[in-house]
Amino acid sequence: MELNNLKPAAGSVKIRKRVGRGSGSGLGGTSTRGHKGAKSRSGYSKKIGFEGGQMPMQRRLPKSGFKNFNRVEYKAINLSVLQALATEKKLTKIGIEDLIAAGFISNKQLVKVLAKGELTAKIEVSANAFSKAAVEAIEKAGGSAVTL
């Protein structure tokens, strides 16, 4: 075996179809595009949603609902998470920086504390929003809820 007689494995390399190179090649004339119509022309590209002249799906279905672009989305953090964080890291104050460091939220998310789970640690919690039940539970445990 030498460099001059190396060949790829049989069937591994396909020969490119050379279209539109005269009638002798068998692929001249219409160049495998059929006869007439938009698809046979150069520069043809179908419009998004075009269904061959049939009324497209997005025009058949009625409009419904709306999207409120003033909506504020909060990441929900439960009291059980705060309790686990307070016992694990021995914290008395829990802020957004602590939640970011623990990997519960990313730095652009707003936090709302919800009342799922039990809180026994006396901690000062600062977040963007609190549910009423969460505030009651935090104050019952002897802590305080600070809204940012």
Give tens-digit pLDDT for 32-53.
Answer: 999 999 899 999 999 999 998 9
Statement: residue 10 has pLDDT above 90: yes
Counted domains in the chain: 1
The CATH number linked to 81 is 3.100.10.10
Domain membership of residue 3 (yes or no) is no
Domain membership of residue 1 (yes or no) is no
Q: According to the model, what pLDDT value does residue 92 have?
A: 86
- The tens digit of pLDDT for each residue in 63-100 reads 999 999 999 999 999 999 999 998 888 888 999 998 99
- The tens digit of pLDDT for each residue in 98-141 reads 899 989 999 899 999 999 988 888 999 999 999 999 999 999 99
Domain membership of residue 91 (yes or no) is yes
Domain membership of residue 21 (yes or no) is no
Domain membership of residue 100 (yes or no) is yes
Rounded Cα–Cα distance for residues 105 and 96 (Å) = 8
Q: Which residues of 61-83 are buried (b: 16+ CB within 10 A; e: fewer)?
A: eeeeeeeeeeeeeeeebebebbb
Domain membership of residue 96 (yes or no) is yes
Q: According to the model, what pLDDT value does residue 91 have?
A: 83
Domain membership of residue 18 (yes or no) is no
Q: According to the model, what pLDDT value does residue 49 have?
A: 92
Amino acid at 141: A
Q: What is the mean pLDDT of the chain?
A: 92
Q: According to the model, what pLDDT value does residue 89 have?
A: 85
Coil vs helix vs strand at 54: strand
Look at the pTM and tell me if it is higher than 0.75.
no
- Stretch 55-60: mean pLDDT, rounded? 94
140 is in which domain, residue-wise? 74-147
Domain membership of residue 101 (yes or no) is yes
